[in-house]
């Protein structure tokens, strides 16, 4: 059942003993909306805990510093920023059929919850939650404001991406009334890197090759390279963006060997070229600006096949080159 702001606020006011579910591999938005809602409910005199299939990442420590889970039998299950029951992960799987309310912004939401508040145009679940809290009439405080700000900032790349809404800025302005330390939060979210991540970035930069009049950048990492260099697998997240950082590059490709001779391809567009169309040719898909596919064979062959798919989109005829 689709619910609106008013129904959501009423539901939250009328119930108690909340388990708030966040998605696995938690990001700033699920963490921010999870803890933001938890503190709001506790402020309203209710019992509430935040649950996740993974440990809460240290970088969001400022959200749960001093947080203690409360002891109570759960009565009301709310999922935040969880588009699909599968994203609940192994520890929270059992709750999938009992979610009373889901607050989300993903157009792809699977409508698994009994009640769904979905704003698909919102930049973040925290942008939706801000409106819920305002509707509930509960006063924000510094910690709640920091949780919501972080969710919006991380999902918009600090107000940089196309998904940034007018409301995202308006909310950020309002949250700044609560003395939040945006410098510290943003430094932690966007600037600080682990040594392992720096190593991966350096490798990708050094491995970048330029094709098709330098309009296509491509970097590959093989199982052999990972073994020899000790690059950390988990530090490759979001690395595809690096493939389109050089000026003039229209399509960027990161190729990562998953199993021997099997390559996961991430493609990014920095132009009008629709990379989901290119990836579809190889049995993959995705969005206009970010897509992917999987190819098998030798690495040189995989590169050649990708380039032969990319070249026509750039109006380049490889046979005449």
**Which residues bind to a second copy, rule: CB under 8 A?**
157-162, 164-167, 169-170, 172-173, 176-177, 182-183, 186-187, 190-195, 198, 201-202, 205-206, 241, 244-247, 270
Q: How far apart are CA 261 and CA 148, in angstroms?
A: 43
By beta-carbon proximity to a second copy, the closer residue of 115 and 174 is: 174
By beta-carbon proximity to a second copy, the closer residue of 107 and 176 is: 176
Q: Residue 181 gets which letter from DSSP?
A: -
- In the complex, the smallest distance separating the C-beta of residue 176 from a second copy, rounded to whole angstroms, is 4
- In the complex, the smallest distance separating the C-beta of residue 178 from a second copy, rounded to whole angstroms, is 11
Structural contact between residues 259 and 252, judged by C-beta atoms closer than 8 angstroms: no
The SS3 assignment for 285 reads strand
Nearest to 102 by CA among 129, 127, 121: 129
In the Cβ-directed half-sphere of 51, how many Cα atoms lie within 13 Å?
24
By beta-carbon proximity to a second copy, the closer residue of 71 and 166 is: 166
By beta-carbon proximity to a second copy, the closer residue of 106 and 199 is: 199
By beta-carbon proximity to a second copy, the closer residue of 110 and 274 is: 274
Structural contact between residues 123 and 165, judged by C-beta atoms closer than 8 angstroms: yes
- In the complex, the smallest distance separating the C-beta of residue 290 from a second copy, rounded to whole angstroms, is 13
Nearest to 140 by CA among 182, 176, 178, 109: 178
- In the complex, the smallest distance separating the C-beta of residue 62 from a second copy, rounded to whole angstroms, is 14
- In the complex, the smallest distance separating the C-beta of residue 41 from a second copy, rounded to whole angstroms, is 27
Structural contact between residues 268 and 252, judged by C-beta atoms closer than 8 angstroms: yes
């Amino acid at each position: 059942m689709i619910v609106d702001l008013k129904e959501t606020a009423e539901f939250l006011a009328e119930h108690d003993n909340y388990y708030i579910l966040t998605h696995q591999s938690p990001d700033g938005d699920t963490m921010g909306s999870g803890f933001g809602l938890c503190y709001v409910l506790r402020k309203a005199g209710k019992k509430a805990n935040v649950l996740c299939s993974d440990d809460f990442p240290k970088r969001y420590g400022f959200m749960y510093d001093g947080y203690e889970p409360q002891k109570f039998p759960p009565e009301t299950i709310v999922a935040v920023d969880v588009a699909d029951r599968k994203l609940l992960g192994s520890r929270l799987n059992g709750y999938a059929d009992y979610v009373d309310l889901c607050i989300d912004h993903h157009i792809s939401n699977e409508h698994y919850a009994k009640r769904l508040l979905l704003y698909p145009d919102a930049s973040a679940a925290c942008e939706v939650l801000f409106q819920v809290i305002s509707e509930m009439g509960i006063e924000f405080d510094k910690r709640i404001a920091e949780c919501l700000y972080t969710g919006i900032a991380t999902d918009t790349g600090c107000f940089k991406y196309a998904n940034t809404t007018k409301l995202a800025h308006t909310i950020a302005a309002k949250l700044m009334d609560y003395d939040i330390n945006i410098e510290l939060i943003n430094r932690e979210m966007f600037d600080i890197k682990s040594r392992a991540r720096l190593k991966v970035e350096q490798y990708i930069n050094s491995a970048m090759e330029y094709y098709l009049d330098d309009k296509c950048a491509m970097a590959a990492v093989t199982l052999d390279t990972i073994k020899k260099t000790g690059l950390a697998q988990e530090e490759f997240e979001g690395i595809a963006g690096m493939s389109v950082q050089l000026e003039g590059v229209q399509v960027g490709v990161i190729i990562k060997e998953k199993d021997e001779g099997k390559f996961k391809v991430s493609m990014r567009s920095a132009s009008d070229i629709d990379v989901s169309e290119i990836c579809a040719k190889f049995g993959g898909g995705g969005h206009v600006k970010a897509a992917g596919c999987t190819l098998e064979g030798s690495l040189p062959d995989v590169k050649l096949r990708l380039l032969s798919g990319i070249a026509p989109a750039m109006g380049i005829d490889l046979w005449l080159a």
